[in-house]
Structure 1
Amino acid sequence: MSIAELSPLTLFVIVSTITPGGATTLATASGARFGYRRSLPFICGIALGLASMAAGAATGLGGVILAFPSLQLAMKLIGTLYLLWLAWKMTRSGPPHLHSNIARPTGFFGAVWLVWHNPKGWAVAMGAAASFASLAAEPSHFALTLGCSFGFAAILSLSLWCVAGLILARLLRTDAQWHAFNAVLGALLAISIIPMWFE
């Protein structure tokens, strides 16, 4: 597989992972509240979840999900409720208390769970699998290529969003600024749910 053959896939994966959405909003909020190091389990969980979804789509798992509309609807409802709960919590939060044990970032397994219940993520993974299937003759090789591409791109893009949140956190000085910032992030997270219901 040459660089020229991989270039369109690379561009697709970068654009898919770096554009604003639920995961990028949560990465920004996590960076602002907990810093980059404490957000790493979340970033790695999202990356592994997305990588495994892409690999699963490349091997045909996405087709199984598409074949059962009731499973799609259940995934969509569970994902929506979870994201709305996170948005509500985010909107109601004030300034971070980084030395407190009460507030914790979303962990590794929570992030994997979140991605696997996101129909938009499945749509992107299946779109990539359908569009770039000719890149590899063997399904296992294609699954590895697609999974690694999405995993690495997710780590890089979510790291950028997390660092952006960390930088923004240094600019926020008052409780009112923190409440406004969290309200905006909560609203963006809630809005990011809308496209999954109109695909």
Structure 2
Amino acid sequence: MGRSRVKRGLRRRQPGASVLLRDYLPLMLFVIVSTVTPGGATTLATASGAHFGYRRSLPLMAGIAAGLASMAAAAAAGLGSVLLALPALQLAMKAAGSLYLVWLAVRIGRGGKPRLDAAVHRPQGFVSGVWMLWHNPKGWAMTLGAAASFAALASGPARLGVLLGLAFGLAAMASLSLWCFAGLLFARVLRTERQWRCLNAGLGVLLVVSIVPMWLP
């Protein structure tokens, strides 16, 4: 008798699990693809991993993840649409974000071998990661699109904000960790000063290139 009740309970739970997977799988795929694709944040994570290792890169990656999570939560609450509705504010955000990324690109591109060059002397911190994300209108547009696309997954803006914030934050941290480990692999392979300068120059160029989509309509 007890076994039959357990079996009936399992049968009741299985449809719920399948519905849960069906509803949340698109969101999971969206945040994974959005965070793992190459861009300014992933380039910074790679450069930081190559120069400073994973542990010293954690504050930067945590700042980027927190910045994206807070943007997603704000978009769910409706603040993202307000920002995107103000062209002057968008322009100011683009300009500030672009100048900051160009400064970082020059700083990275001029660097040499770790611990032997003063151009890259310490890793970027938590605030730098948050700052970079908040000044990217494309990021606001992406999180606003996610809030509109997956609004049905939550019963209100607050719960949607928590859901999207957790999803984007965790996915960003995992994706940035992968890119940081890629930087660690570079650090093990590269030996000469010239090799390091080539890597740093390439990462600097990629960081500048990542600014271009920010200005596209």
TM-score of the superposition, structure 1-length normalised? 0.96
| Map of 2:89 onto structure 1 | 71
1:1-199 aligned within 5 A? 2-97=20-115, 103-199=121-217
CA distance in 2: counterparts of 1:183 and 1:48, whole angstroms: 28
CA radius of gyration, larger in: 2
Is this contact kept in 1: 2:52–2:123, CA < 8 A? yes
CA distance in 2, matches of 1:130, 1:76: 23
Cα distance between partner residues in 1 of 2:48 and 2:139 = 20
- Is this contact kept in 1: 2:54–2:181, CA < 8 A? yes
Could you tell me how far 1:66 is from its partner in structure 2?
A: 1.4
Alpha-carbon deviation of 1:99?
11
Deviations 1:70-110 (A, max 9, x none): 0000000000000011011111110111898x711110111
How many residues get paired?
A: 199
Q: Cα 1:98–1:109, aligned 2, differ >3 Å: closer, same or farther?
A: farther
Q: 1:136 to 1:189 in 2, by over 3 A?
A: same
Once the two structures are TM-superposed, the CA of residue 3 in structure 1 deviates from its matched residue by: 1.9
> Do the aligned partners of residues 159 and 21 (structure 1) sit closer, same or farther apart at CA in structure 2, a change above 3 Å counting?
same
What is the one-letter code of the residue matched to 1:43? M
Q: Give the 4+ runs in structure 1 shifted more than 2 A.
A: none
Which 5+ residue runs of structure 1 have no aligned equivalent?
A: none
Question: Structure 2, unaligned stretches of length 5 or more?
Answer: 1-18
CA contact (8 A) 2:84 2:137 kept: no
Q: CA RMSD in A?
A: 1.7
SS at 1:2 equivalent: helix
Higher relative contact order (CA 8 A, sep 6+): 1
Q: For residue 157 of structure 1, report the CA deviation from its aligned partner.
A: 0.2
Superimposed CA distance per residue, residues 1-23 of structure 1 (whole angstroms, 9 cap, x where no aligned partner): 81210100000000000000000
Query: Which amino acid counterpart does residue 20 of structure 2 have in structure 1?
Result: S
Using the TM superposition, name which of 31-40 and 89-98 deviates more. Answer: 89-98
Greater shift, 115-124 or 138-147, is seen at 115-124
Q: Distance in 1 between matches of 2:199 and 2:213?
A: 23
Letter in 1 for 2:113: P
CA contact (8 A) 1:34 1:98 kept: no
Contact 2:111/2:117 (CA < 8 Å) preserved in 1?
no
Instruction: Assess if the C-alpha contact under 8 Å between 1:51 and 1:148 holds in 2.
Output: yes
Identity of matched residues, %? 63
